[in-house]
Amino acid sequence: MSLPPRTEPGRLLDGRYRLLTHLADGGMASVWLALDERLEREVALKIMRSGLAADPEFVERFRQEARSAARLSHPGLVAMFDQGRDGDDMFLVMEFVPGRTLRQLVTDEAPVGPGPALDIIDRVLDALAAAHRAGMVHRDVKPENVIVRHDGSLKVADFGLTRAVAAATTGGQPGVLLGTVSYLSPEQVEHGSADARSDVYACGLILYELLTGRKAFDGETAIHVAYQHVHGSVPAPSTTVPELPEALDRLVALATARDPGQRPDNAADLLVEVRRTRSILGLPALLAPVATTTARLDISQLSSHAATQATAPVTTADPDGTVPRPTADPTTGRPPDPPPSLVDVADGASHDGAHGGSASLDRTAALPIVREQDALPQPPAATTGPRRRRLLLPVLLLLLALGAGAGWWFLLGPGATTVVPKVATLQLTDAQTALAANHLVGSVTEVFDETVPKGQVISSAPAAGASLHRGDTVALTTSKGQERYAAPALVKTKAADAKAVLAGVNLALGTSTAAYDETIPEGSIVSQDPPAGTAMKRGAPVSIVVSKGREPIPIADWRGKPMADAVAALTKAGLKVTQGTPANSDTVAKGNVLEQSPVKGTLFKGDTVTLVESKGPVLVQVPNVVSMQRTKAVKALEALGFRVNVENLFGGFFGTVRFQDPAGGSMAPKGSTVTIRVV
């Protein structure tokens, strides 16, 4: 078995990398913080165990895998800068990422709850997906190879190293197997083969551990653990944490199927399932606290992405931004009955009139003047010839006068006849002139007509061509134009009066719908169609929208949910949000809503909702109990409200505290757990 590399601070490797501080030891290598003196930057230097450099196959595979890993570029992957050899030592130069491993986070925080767990595995899969797309498989995905930065971001480390070591080691070496066996896929245990689905399996195990706080398979020996991978099934997380949703059980089962063919093909495919599960669960389930969680990490840094993707913005407006108007009361199916009140509405319609004129004819005529003495009979003349002639002359004159009068009567006077001219389609003045020319008089009647223009003659009675005596009257029917009535102004008037108002101007009430309105009182008219002043046919309908009053806004309970989400949702609903003085809470996470007033019921647009933000639990300074006796240390910690986890080393024979976490003097939430190790 290869031995850990022997080295010390200050050593210069390859004439370039100065070792500064020893960071950690693993089954394959020792990790140091080093200074790249050429570029003057800090790097993480991983020195392989001694003896590996003596294997030519390992050296060649090591170089190939390091070059492949160096080509990967993703913010979630620890960057590979260089690889080299110094004497008998092979080493890798990587990006130095300050923080702690996911193993430490799981140890200290798990179970972390659905939202943070899905967000952590989301980021791990996002990084692995980039490698899988490039044709690279990690083969040793585990919490120890995921680094959590202080800002909450994650980076996956050690690409390429496992495959190189596999060329020079065997699974029977305890130092190699024990470091990875908890996350090996069944095919890795049975055949030593691994592909992208093996990384998927390991991610499923990490998700299980995040959700439950324990490994899926555990045992006293590596062989026992490996046997469970091959012959057992990963238990459902809800068997350990009952409040976990069934969707998380299905997700873990999918990722950890024993048959690789039943798993997602790669990290990108599993990432799709993770995000689908997050969407199915929704924000309340994602943010639901786990009863056993004792968080000292600011999980909000990790779960903000989950909260963002689970919130599903809701739209309730028409494309033009107006609120849709319901057609009926939701309980009765009919528009609400308006209150019985009255208003007076003036009728502004006017009616046109016309006056017809009459033509007069001069019926006087010159008649022959017959003097009375000329008309009297004269006594017979004494003589017969000339006297008789004198007697016949007056008779002839009388006969001539009578004939002239009769001729005037029948030819020029009332006894004369005439023909009715064609006056239809003429303007009224032109028709009157035509009648006068034919010694006729016109009487006028006006009617509405949809086709004949106003002022034009529609017909005459008698019709054109009829024979009348001079001076007779012809009845003319003329057009008043189209029959139209102006729609009255109904907006802001009582809906109960609309029908009567419309009937007064020869119009009818059309459809009546209801809608909420912030300014028009309930029962009054919000709008009408067509608008006021529109010319309409007799009996045409005018539709109205009746106000249901201000729209009630139901209040959601935002307690325990992110303050930012609550403010955004309430503001979008048209409510005003005021924030009270933030307060501490042992149950509500920092940044979430601690108090809300009102909590339920309905408000109206512009009303106020008061929210109080949680500052999280009260932080208490952890006392220094190192060197104390176990009983005294436990009492001191419990007196400050801490829970105490005692780990006995070598049986705890002396009862003296040699280590504590968190360290003395640090701040920790009241009620959180302090671990002490007693010798």
Active site residues: 140
Measured in degrees and rounded to the nearest 5, phi and psi for residue 296 equal -115, -10
Measured in degrees and rounded to the nearest 5, phi and psi for residue 571 equal -65, -40
Distances (CA, A) of 566 to 101, 278, 410, 563: 33, 20, 104, 5
CA angle, residues 482, 484, 485, in degrees to nearest 5: 165
Alpha helices in 137-195 (DSSP H): 161-166, 174-180, 186-191
Alpha-carbon 155 to chain mean position: 33
The label of the residue with tokens 């009728």 reads 347
Residues 43, 34: contact at Cβ < 8 Å? Answer: yes
What whole-number distance in Å separates Cα of residue 277 and Cα of residue 265? 18
Residues 183, 141: contact at Cβ < 8 Å? Answer: yes
Number of H helices and E strands in the chain, helices first, is: 17, 29
Distances (CA, A) of 253 to 31, 147, 242, 371: 35, 25, 16, 144
What whole-number distance in Å separates Cα of residue 400 and Cα of residue 380? 24
Alpha helices in 170-295 (DSSP H): 174-180, 186-191, 196-212, 222-231, 246-255, 267-286
What whole-number distance in Å separates Cα of residue 292 and Cα of residue 214? 12
Query: SS3 for 415-458, per residue?
Result: CCEEECCCCCCCEHHHHHHHHHHCCCEEEEEEECCCCCCCCEEE
Residues 574, 552: contact at Cβ < 8 Å? Answer: no
The label of the residue with tokens 């392989």 reads 48
Give me the residues paired with residue 611 across strands.
579, 596
Give me the residues paired with residue 334 across strands.
none
